[in-house]
Structure 1
């Protein structure tokens, strides 16, 4: 697979023009670092209009998640239908889905709405199973539904290494096991599998690997030495979603998203007594070229 430079920042609609629309189907983070808050922050700074289907309301801050309340599956479905039927979207992503019932509702409604699978609207699946502190965000009995029901709809799946281990049983520790994990994820039905390398702490770089069932594409950026990486996975998946909505190919959307989250990690800031968030607010003062650095 050829390696091309990351695309420029996504084009922003002129005044009075309707921007590209996307949908995030995810949980709310009361601390504002991850979940739909991270998605909408990145989408706004990429010039994309974000619609939302809230799946759960979490009680969390920089120190962890102390609880959450699921939204009823019917309301989750109704949010998706309301947005797609009236506003229209170019791509969608999932985050925290919490339970088998919500996964089933999302799968059914996305299929009906042409999202993912054979439909015309790309779907990025970020299979959120636990917070960065290890707090569970998906019922244990819902893992199989994630694998067998949601993954076959995915244009791209974007698990972190802890989620890879839960979903496939593979502990990614080096390039060989990263490729094995990509193959195992792809075998679950996603068109593309992305295995992120940000948690491979033994390396000086952050190698992310994309696999389409035949070829591998690795994008490797210098690791950013910061403890403030809350929401990094959400931000990467949001970048993928926005670029796909603009019509980029999956490999080019991947390159853009990797560059975007790396730049956002560079600008991360402390917050509270724990992990601060990655920071796409750099875009407010950044130049168009900065995302490619």
Structure 2
């Protein structure tokens, strides 16, 4: 019976403010009844007002975290979040090729809610060419999809085109999140599955600044569901519903872009 309980892995940076990054992943996976493990790759000094500083961790300790998990646990799905710089991305890619931690969800974290850049331009290129080909699912927001697909996204047709470009880069499934279209009453996301089928997911747009960590949360929820053996489509739909609930049933924390309510169901 050892290691029969669903286990998932977050490969990400730490958010000292607790709303995003590895902290959001841990809270989400716990709420989805999955045992969460971590590979910490960077540390940030951060709160709801912004990111004050960030520091990547050395390659050696990142490698050792991967090896330690592989030696003892049975990871059934994993996700990446903030990866900071090129060396970190390459280190993570090398370890993901070495160890089987189940389906890989890539949340290509690039820019924080306050505008701070969390991924260098060179690292974006490395994500595009080396990490995306390993991804079972990539979950970019609109600015991230524009950077990875190397195009401008102005409407739903552009979202579909970007999804196709990302799939052509190697990602098996693609979720392009449309939350940055602020002029629309609905928050609509485009999903392109590995078999070529696609669908849209929409939810009412909620007027709030309490949205810090939405990308981390939806990707972590999907990862947790996959760890439980749920299909990709159902995992994505569950992730969308969970994030909508965490925004709708908000909490008042911090003076800036506040966190989600991960207790929401």
Provide TM-score, normalisation by structure 2: 0.95
1:83 to 69, 92, 106: 69
1:33 to 11, 19, 39: 19
- Partner of 2:244 in structure 1? 262
Counterpart Cα distance in 2 of 1:23 and 1:17? 14
Counterpart Cα distance in 2 of 1:68 and 1:36? 14
1:133-169 residue CA offsets vs partner (Å, 9 max, x unmatched): 1101112211111001000000000011111122222
The 5 Å alignment of 1:96-115 reads 96-115=82-101
Mapped pair 1:23 → 2:9: yes
- Partner of 2:156 in structure 1? 175
Mapped pair 1:185 → 2:171: no
1:276 to 235, 238, 258: 258
Q: Which moved more, 1:34-43 or 1:199-208?
A: 199-208
- Partner of 1:223 in structure 2? 205
Shift in alpha-carbon separation, 1:245–1:17, aligned structure 2, 3 A = closer
- Partner of 1:152 in structure 2? 133
Residue 18 of structure 1 deviates from its aligned partner by 6.0
Mapped pair 1:122 → 2:108: no
- Partner of 1:212 in structure 2? 193
Counterpart Cα distance in 1 of 2:115 and 2:151? 18
> Where does structure 1 lack aligned partners over 5 or more consecutive residues?
1-15, 116-120, 284-293
Q: CA RMSD in A?
A: 1.5
> Where does structure 2 lack aligned partners over 5 or more consecutive residues?
none
Counterpart Cα distance in 2 of 1:132 and 1:126? 15
Counterpart Cα distance in 1 of 2:7 and 2:231? 17
Q: Which moved more, 1:196-205 or 1:164-173?
A: 164-173
Provide TM-score, normalisation by structure 1: 0.86
Residue 37 of structure 1 deviates from its aligned partner by 0.4
1:49-92 residue CA offsets vs partner (Å, 9 max, x unmatched): 11000010001111100111111122112112211221111100
- Partner of 1:46 in structure 2? 32
